[in-house]
Chain A
Amino acid sequence: MKPLPPSDRPSDHEQLPLSGIRVVDVGNFLAGPYAASIMGEFGAEVLKVEHPIAGDPMRRFGTPTKRHDATLAWLSEGRNKKSVTIDLRQKEGVQIFLKLIAKSDVLIENFRPGTMEEWGLGWEQLREANPRLVVLRVSGYGQTGPYRRRSGFAHIAHAFGGLSYLAGFPGETPVLPGTVPLGDYMSSLYGVIGVLVALRHQEETGRGQVIDVGIYEAVFRQLDEIAAAYGLFGKVREREGSGSFVAVPHGHFRTKDDKWIAIACTTDKMFERLAEAMEQSELATTGLYGDQRKRLAARDQVNQIVIEWVGSLTRDEVLERCLDKEVPVGKVNSIADIFEDEHFQARGNLARFEEEGLGEVVVPAVVPTLSATPGRITNLGPPLGDATYEVMRELLDITADEIRRLRQHKII
């Protein structure tokens, strides 16, 4: 596989901040495994441990490709990983896994709490194998509390964490907050921050630890003042359609050519600029709507004025006039818009890979951008078990004969 420009700059492996760190990712789907993807982007060696027959169900989730073991979602998010097959439901598999753990720095898992323990892979056993190990455990509800054994996916966590209730029009069906796995990404981001903090502690003290993330917690943590406002004033936030309770106008508006545009007048100054762009600067006077409080009180009237103005122009016209006055504005981009956008291209946000037998695969590039040690994508989601032999033979020093036997018994 050969990366094509203008994708990520493949930088020297040795220079990356996580080079020398070995991560074992035994998770399924995305909540947790995405943390491993990020670590791989910044230089860690990531070993994806999968069931020898089924592999990660992420391989079958999403849009299929000509490769039977890879959907597009897998190709993108399995980036930079090596696949090693081990059956953890067999005793011998557990023994091999513990040997691997002894030679690794980080373990990432997202089984239902209790599952690892059933296999003899609880924190006690893991710590015994490697006292320096940092373990990231992501689950729907966390490792503790009455709901810990319930199965949880991002879709459920969005609902339980309070986000889904807020998406949609007042009194109508709550909708997806944009995408299904949002909470998986969020919980992984919290997870990787936990891992990096724990690695600092480990390097200072030699002690590993466990990071416990409930997907719902990652979702709930991002709801600004919702808890404080309920706690203090009993205010239950409801669905707000395309708007927001804090500012007006602040939402999505339909243009004459039947496209959508986002406008966000967070402050009075921003509204003044919008009024100028609309050539109705009188709207921003104190007698009218110059004050956020007045705009909030007259929400419908203010929105109606903006709806009419936006509806009288094409998306490009609205955009141009708003940008001319520095109003915070943006197209509500579809993925087709994004592929055409010159800014996405200039920032190299779309990384293009030539993948054997599949042609070009386009995936989101590394975020964030670091000036001295930018991350990189070395490979897309690997074939099932592509590194099993290499890891067993070279890292764990298992003989070729023994590897053959383990394969025959479907332990690896």
Chain B
Amino acid sequence: MTAESAPALPLAGIRVIDVATVIAAPYCATLLGEFGADVLKVEHPVGGDALRRFGTPSQRGDTLTWLSEARNKRSVTIDLHRPEGVAVFKQLIAQSDVLCENFRPGTLEKWGLGWEVLHEINPGLIMLRVTGYGQTGPYKDRPGFARVAHAVGGIAYLAGMPRGTPVTPGSTTLGDYMTGLYGCLGVLLALRHRERTGQGQYVDAALYESVFRCTDELAPAYGMYGIVRERHGPSHNDFACPHGHFPTKDGKWVAISCATDKLFARLAAAMGRTELASSSTYGEQKTRLEHRHDVNEIVRDWCGSLSRDEVLDRCYETGTPAGPLNNIADIFGDRQFHARRNLMAVDVPDTGETVIVPSTIPKLSETPGSLRSLGPKLGEHTVEVLSELLGMDEQQIAELRQKRVI
């Protein structure tokens, strides 16, 4: 296994219980684990996290997303529908720092594991609660997935050709990852507060809010001028021109983005037509936006006359922001991905499969994150955790197993 080396990890000593499912809240735990936290994935004894079955299966049965995103975690099975399970869980909470959960509001409360109870057991506990709509408000009980959050949060409406069907904004799980990021941010802030005051707190993250927060001036522009942004296809035509995706002679695509006049001048130079960037032609953003069809047509003709590599070489030469629309095959062949070690090959224990997964980001110079293991087998660490952490003996563990509590 080619794991990254781990000199000193800033979250060493922090214990995280991840009782959540699929990606959103678990991704927060994944990030904490990459920077040194001990993450215990608490799963139902039968089936475990639904992410084990979401996507393409590996030889071991667990899906590839599970193997990649449950990285560095230890799997402990506990049935929270049973009072004995709840008792074991409370013991774990007493010895932990962070809990990540994403049940529908009220579910943990039903099991006697609401915030009040957990806070009393462990006043320093930080609880990340992720749901589709948050813990409050009229929709709080509605089921929510990232797909729905993209729609409710306003980005699905913006993805697609003008007046055409709104499309998936690239990837169906985007909102899950974004919420994992906001959740992780909240947990790190709460840890800071706890270290100063001893006081724990909960972080209330909603999938749709993470999406909506990333919509630049969508809200202020509607609030002030009543502008309802529509789908713009490959570009957002209101801000900059040319700005979009253009097909090349060899049937591929390039992205070009001229946010300022200076950048357009560079593109004009790349096209060998510097006259286009003069003040009497298209040198100014305002003029380009007024004549966006003409400008786009010129760029489209130029891109269509060259191969993707030719277009990009000429753009890079003059410093024009441009890039290929990479598919995953392009990415695997790319020098920059290799140089930055963005892809890691990790062996799955037992099966001999090698899985290639994204490595840790962001890159820290002194304390880089580490990928130590792929997603664990269901219950792989139950015995280890119950005996070492909770001091249970073999007989107690056997009893719990027999009753199918673990």
A396 to chain B, nearest CB (A): 27
* Bound: A173/B178 CA distance, A: 26
- Provide 27 A-B residue pairs closer than 8 Å at the C-beta atoms, listed in order of the A residue: A17-B196, A73-B217, A162-B328, A163-B170, A164-B325, A182-B214, A191-B362, A193-B184, A196-B189, A213-B363, A221-B177, A224-B173, A225-B55, A228-B357, A232-B353, A251-B147, A262-B151, A329-B148, A330-B208, A333-B151, A333-B152, A333-B153, A333-B154, A343-B133, A352-B223, A367-B205, A370-B186
Per-residue contact bits, chain B 59-72, to A (CB 8 Å; 1 contact, 0 not): 00001110111000
Q: A334-B154, A367-B182 in contact; A244/B172 too (CB < 8 A)?
A: yes
Per-residue contact bits, chain B 223-246, to A (CB 8 Å; 1 contact, 0 not): 111011111111110111001010
Query: Which residues in B have their C-beta under 8 angstroms from that of A165?
Result: 253, 325-327
B159–A167 touching, CB < 8 Å: yes
A350–B219 touching, CB < 8 Å: yes
Of A81-89, A99-107, A153-161, A399-407, the stretch lying at the interface with chain B is A153-161
In this assembly, does A335 line the interface, its C-beta being within 8 Å of a C-beta of chain B?
A: yes
In this assembly, does B304 line the interface, its C-beta being within 8 Å of a C-beta of chain A?
A: no
* Bound: A239/B170 CA distance, A: 8
Q: A176-B234, A335-B229 in contact; A262/B148 too (CB < 8 A)?
A: yes
A299 to chain B, nearest CB (A): 14
Q: Which residue of A lies closest to B155 (CB)?
A: A178
Contact of A178 among B158, B196, B200, B233 (CB under 8 A): B158
Q: A159-B324, A225-B63, A266-B145 in contact; A175/B225 too (CB < 8 A)?
A: no
In this assembly, does B271 line the interface, its C-beta being within 8 Å of a C-beta of chain A?
A: no
In this assembly, does B93 line the interface, its C-beta being within 8 Å of a C-beta of chain A?
A: no
Contact of B355 among A228, A246, A338 (CB under 8 A): A228
Query: Which residues in B have their C-beta under 8 angstroms from that of A364?
Result: 212-213, 215, 219
In this assembly, does A119 line the interface, its C-beta being within 8 Å of a C-beta of chain B?
A: no
B201–A189 touching, CB < 8 Å: no
B64–A228 touching, CB < 8 Å: yes
Q: List CB contacts (< 8 Å) of A320-374 with chain B.
A: 323, 326-336, 338-339, 342-344, 346-347, 349-350, 352, 358-364, 367-373
Per-residue contact bits, chain A 203-243, to B (CB 8 Å; 1 contact, 0 not): 01001111111101110111111111111110111111111
* Bound: A158/B247 CA distance, A: 16
A173–B177 touching, CB < 8 Å: no
Q: A17-B189, A178-B150 in contact; A156/B323 too (CB < 8 A)?
A: yes
Q: 8 nearest interchain CB pairs?
A: A362-B223, A231-B356, A178-B155, A145-B339, A262-B151, A159-B255, A372-B201, A177-B170
Of B94-102, B161-169, B291-299, B383-391, the stretch lying at the interface with chain A is B161-169
Query: Which residues in A have their C-beta under 8 angstroms from that of B178?
Result: 185-186, 189, 222
Q: A211-B364, A244-B168 in contact; A359/B224 too (CB < 8 A)?
A: yes
In this assembly, does A294 line the interface, its C-beta being within 8 Å of a C-beta of chain B?
A: no
A174–B190 touching, CB < 8 Å: no
B205–A236 touching, CB < 8 Å: no
A175–B139 touching, CB < 8 Å: no
Query: Which residues in A have their C-beta under 8 angstroms from that of B209?
Result: 347, 349, 367-368
* Bound: A350/B153 CA distance, A: 12
A180–B192 touching, CB < 8 Å: no
Q: List CB contacts (< 8 Å) of B193-207 with chain A.
A: 193, 196, 199-206
Query: Which residues in B have their C-beta under 8 angstroms from that of A29?
Result: 259
Q: Which residue of B lies closest to A327 (CB)?
A: B143
In this assembly, does A260 line the interface, its C-beta being within 8 Å of a C-beta of chain B?
A: yes
B203–A373 touching, CB < 8 Å: no
Q: A160-B326, A165-B326 in contact; A196/B219 too (CB < 8 A)?
A: no
Further pairs besides A63-B217, A235-B56, A260-B165: 12, Cβ < 8 Å: A147-B336, A157-B323, A160-B324, A173-B245, A175-B161, A197-B188, A211-B362, A231-B343, A241-B165, A328-B145, A339-B223, A370-B189
Chain A, interface size category, equals 35 or more
* Bound: A29/B343 CA distance, A: 29
In this assembly, does A150 line the interface, its C-beta being within 8 Å of a C-beta of chain B?
A: yes
A185–B325 touching, CB < 8 Å: no
In this assembly, does A98 line the interface, its C-beta being within 8 Å of a C-beta of chain B?
A: no
Chain B, interface size category, equals 35 or more
B262 to chain A, nearest CB (A): 10
A372 to chain B, nearest CB (A): 4
* Bound: A189/B185 CA distance, A: 8
Q: Which residue of A lies closest to B179 (CB)?
A: A368
In this assembly, does B367 line the interface, its C-beta being within 8 Å of a C-beta of chain A?
A: yes
A160–B323 touching, CB < 8 Å: yes
* Bound: A411/B229 CA distance, A: 40
Q: Which residue of B lies closest to A250 (CB)?
A: B147
In this assembly, does B20 line the interface, its C-beta being within 8 Å of a C-beta of chain A?
A: no
In this assembly, does B307 line the interface, its C-beta being within 8 Å of a C-beta of chain A?
A: no
In this assembly, does A57 line the interface, its C-beta being within 8 Å of a C-beta of chain B?
A: yes
Q: Which of B193, B326, B361 has the most CB of A within 10 A?
A: B361
In this assembly, does B48 line the interface, its C-beta being within 8 Å of a C-beta of chain A?
A: no
* Bound: A252/B150 CA distance, A: 11
In this assembly, does A190 line the interface, its C-beta being within 8 Å of a C-beta of chain B?
A: yes
B348 to chain A, nearest CB (A): 10
* Bound: A220/B144 CA distance, A: 24
Query: Which residues in A have their C-beta under 8 angstroms from that of B218?
Result: 179, 335
Query: Which residues in A have their C-beta under 8 angstroms from that of B350?
Result: none
In this assembly, does A18 line the interface, its C-beta being within 8 Å of a C-beta of chain B?
A: yes
Contact of A371 among B132, B204, B222 (CB under 8 A): B204
Of B74-82, B105-113, B272-280, B314-322, the stretch lying at the interface with chain A is B314-322
In this assembly, does B134 line the interface, its C-beta being within 8 Å of a C-beta of chain A?
A: yes
A152–B323 touching, CB < 8 Å: yes
B239–A61 touching, CB < 8 Å: yes
B132 to chain A, nearest CB (A): 8
A72–B217 touching, CB < 8 Å: yes
Query: Which residues in B have their C-beta under 8 angstroms from that of A62?
Result: 216-217, 221, 239
Contact of B201 among A212, A229, A373 (CB under 8 A): A373
B356–A227 touching, CB < 8 Å: yes
Q: List CB contacts (< 8 Å) of A101-154 with chain B.
A: 140-142, 144-147, 150-153
* Bound: A266/B220 CA distance, A: 34
A232–B58 touching, CB < 8 Å: yes
Q: A152-B323, A211-B365 in contact; A367/B210 too (CB < 8 A)?
A: yes
In this assembly, does B149 line the interface, its C-beta being within 8 Å of a C-beta of chain A?
A: yes
A231–B345 touching, CB < 8 Å: yes
* Bound: A129/B378 CA distance, A: 50
B310 to chain A, nearest CB (A): 16
Q: A189-B181, A361-B220 in contact; A227/B328 too (CB < 8 A)?
A: yes
In this assembly, does A42 line the interface, its C-beta being within 8 Å of a C-beta of chain B?
A: yes
Q: Which residue of B lies closest to A267 (CB)?
A: B50
Contact of B331 among A162, A194, A352 (CB under 8 A): A162
* Bound: A226/B64 CA distance, A: 9
B216–A242 touching, CB < 8 Å: no
B240 to chain A, nearest CB (A): 8
Q: A76-B216, A180-B243, A207-B366 in contact; A38/B185 too (CB < 8 A)?
A: yes
In this assembly, does B3 line the interface, its C-beta being within 8 Å of a C-beta of chain A?
A: no
In this assembly, does B358 line the interface, its C-beta being within 8 Å of a C-beta of chain A?
A: yes
